[in-house]
Amino acid sequence: MSKVFRAGFLLLNFLTAAVLFGEEVAPIAFGKAANSTFSDQTAEDRKGGWTDQGGNDLRAIPAGRGKFGGIAFEIVRSETAPECIVLGGQKERSYLPRQVEMKVPGTVRGRTLYLLHAGAWVVNGQHAGNLTVEYDGGAPSKFSLRNGREVLDWSSPRDGGNAKRVWSIYNGNTQVSLFVSRFALRDRPIRSIRFEAEDPVWMIAAVSVGTELPVYGITPRWLVKGKYAAPATPDRREIARLLPDKGPVRNVILIIGDGMGMGALLATSNYAHGRGQALYLQQLPHTGLVQTRSANADVTDSAAAGTALATGHKTNNRFVGMKPDRTAVDSIAAMAAAQGKSVGIITTDALVGATPSAFYAHVPARGMASEIACFAAKCGYDILIGNERNHAFRPDQRKDGRDLCAEMQKAGYHAVRTPDTLPAAAAKAYGFIGDWRKDITLLSQFTAAAAEKLGKNPKGFFLMVESSLPDSGGHGNDPDLTVLGTLMADFTVKAAVEYARRHKDTLVVVTADHETGGIVCNGNNVKQTAPVIFYSTNQHTSAPVGIYAGGPGSDRFGGVMENTSIPKTFAKLWELSPGKKGE
C-alpha cells in the first residue's frame, strides 16, 4: 500500500467515524467537587468568585455544552450552587482549598483527558500543581503541571507547551482567556480525578474525556474585516480659526479613548484615510504626549489612570478616586458640580467601569461594583450614561437588595435609551445603552445632545465622554474593535468641536488613559486602507499617549506632560481649588 493511499485511507476512516459516531469527547460533571462560581459580587470577601476580585471575573462565559478549540465541554451555570473548581496556591488566595477530588460517576473511559482551565498570578517555570487520575483497577496516571506549560495565566495572550488558548473575552476589567490542555490516559474506567494546586491560583472550568483529537487555538488577526465610516479630515488651519486659544472657559469637554495609544491612531488613520495623521482629532490646534505611569507601577491600569485624569493625583493600580494612602480626593467633575456647573459622564463601558467611576467614586478596588454604583446613585451629576451592564444597580444582583435605579428616579432622574430622549431643562438623566457598536455615531450623538442640555446652565458644564472599545481591541488583539473604537472617538471629537465652534467659551481636550495592546501598524503597499496591525501584548503598556486640544486655554496642553496635569489645568482655568473629599 503506497504512503499516499494509506494516508487517504486513514483520513477517510477518521471522517467516517466522526460522521457515524458523532461526538468523540464527552464532558464530565464536577459534582460535589465544584467549590466556586464564575461570577463574583464583592472583591476579596473570601466568598467565592473566579478569583475573588469582584467584577474581574468570568461571568461572561457561555453556559451549556459547546466546543472550545474543537473540544466539547459542558459549562454549568447556577444561581445557587457552585459551578467550577478554584484552588489556592501558597502565595495568592492561600485561604482557598489546595486540592479537591472529583468522583467520576458511571463507566467513563477514554484515551485523553481534556481540561478547560487557567491560572492567576502565574510565574512561568514554577511547579503549578498535580493532576492524578484513579482507575477501577491498575496504577493511577499522575501528571506534574508546570506554569507556562500546562497552566497559563488567564490574562496570557499566548499558548503554552501543553495549553492552547481557545477562548478569550474582555470582562470589563481584563482580557481573560481559557486554555485546553491534554493528558494521555490508560483506557480504563475512571474512578476519580484529583486536582492539587501548588503556586498559582488554579481554576478549572470544565473537564472532558474521550479520544485524542487536535486542539485548535485562537488564530491571530492582522487586518480589519469590517467597513466603518469615518469623519472627513478637516483643514487644520480652519479648526484653529474656529477654536481660538484666548478667552474665558465656561465649558470643558474631555474625551477619553480608553487604550487609544499612538499605534491605534496610526492604524485607524491609515484604515480610514490611507495615510497617517489624518484623523479629525489629530487636526486640533495643540498636541502633545502624556505620561501614564501610576503611583506603584510603570504600567498603569484604568483605575489609576482614570483617577489621575479625574483628580490630578497619582495612585496605585486598582484604586479609584483615592490616593495611595486611601485618602479620598475630589474629581474635577465633583469640584465643578460644587461650583454650580452641570456635569455629565458618558461611556460605552459600564457606568461602574474604572475610568468613569474615577470621576465620582472613592474605593480601594475597582472591582467593588456594588459600592461604586452607590456612589453613582448619590453623586447628583446631571447625566450618567453607560452600557447595558447594569447588574450593580439591580436589586436581584445586589446582596443588599437595593434598587438603585428606583432610588435615582426618586431623586429626579429620568431613564433614557436614545439621545433624543435626554430630558430638557433641569431634569437629570441616566441610561444603560445596548450595543454601542451598532451605530458608530451613537456616542457622538449622545455627546452633542448632552452638550446642548448641559450648556443651558449659565455657569457652564464639565462633560467626560469615554470610548472604551480601543481598549477592548487592544486586550482582545482585535483590529476591528481597535479601529471601530477609535473612529467612535473621532466622531465624538467632531461633535464636540461643532459645539465649541458655536460656543467659543468651550474647551475640547482629547487623550487616552493608557495604551493597550502594544500596537505596531505597518503600511500595506497593495492597499493603503488595509493596514497590517500587530499586537505585542494583550495588556496595557507604558507607552505615552497623545493629547489634542482646541478652544480657550488649549495652548496649555502641549509638549510632554503628566496625566495629572490635565485636571489641574482645568481647575486653574476655572479658578477651582482641589482638595480632599468633603473640603
Tens digit of each residue's pLDDT (9 = 90 or more) over 61-74: 999 999 999 999 99
Residues of the chain with CATH 2.60.120: 22-210
* Residue 23, pLDDT score: 54
Tell the CATH topology of 239-520+542-574. Answer: Alkaline Phosphatase, subunit A (3.40.720)
| Interatomic CA distance for residues 1 and 520, integer angstroms | 51
Residues 6+ apart with CB under 8 A from 541: 261, 299, 514, 515, 516, 517, 518
| Interatomic CA distance for residues 96 and 92, integer angstroms | 9
Q: What is the pLDDT of residues 397-455, one digit of tens each?
A: 898 999 999 999 999 999 999 999 997 767 899 999 999 999 999 999 999 999 999 99
With cut-offs at 50, 70 and 90, classify the pLDDT of residue 171.
confident
* Residue 570, pLDDT score: 98
For the segment(s) 22-210, the CATH number from 1.20.120, 3.40.720, 3.40.1350, 2.60.120 is: 2.60.120
Residues of the chain with CATH 3.40.720.10: 239-520+542-574
Strand partners, 116: 180, 206
Residue 130, CA atoms < 13 Å, CB-side half-sphere:
11
Please report the beta strands in 366-518, taking only residues with DSSP state E, as ranges in sequence order. Answer: 383-387, 413-415, 428-433, 461-467, 506-511, 515-516
| Interatomic CA distance for residues 200 and 152, integer angstroms | 9
How much of the chain, in percent, has pLDDT values that exceed 70?
95
* Residue 578, pLDDT score: 55
* Residue 89, pLDDT score: 79
Whether the Cβ atoms of residue 237 and residue 541 lie closer than 8 Å to each other: no
Q: What is the pLDDT of residues 301-340, one digit of tens each?
A: 999 999 999 999 999 999 999 999 999 999 999 999 999 9
| Type of residue numbered 298 | D
Residues 6+ apart with CB under 8 A from 120: 51, 92, 93, 153, 154, 200, 201, 203
Mean of pLDDT values over 217-222? 90
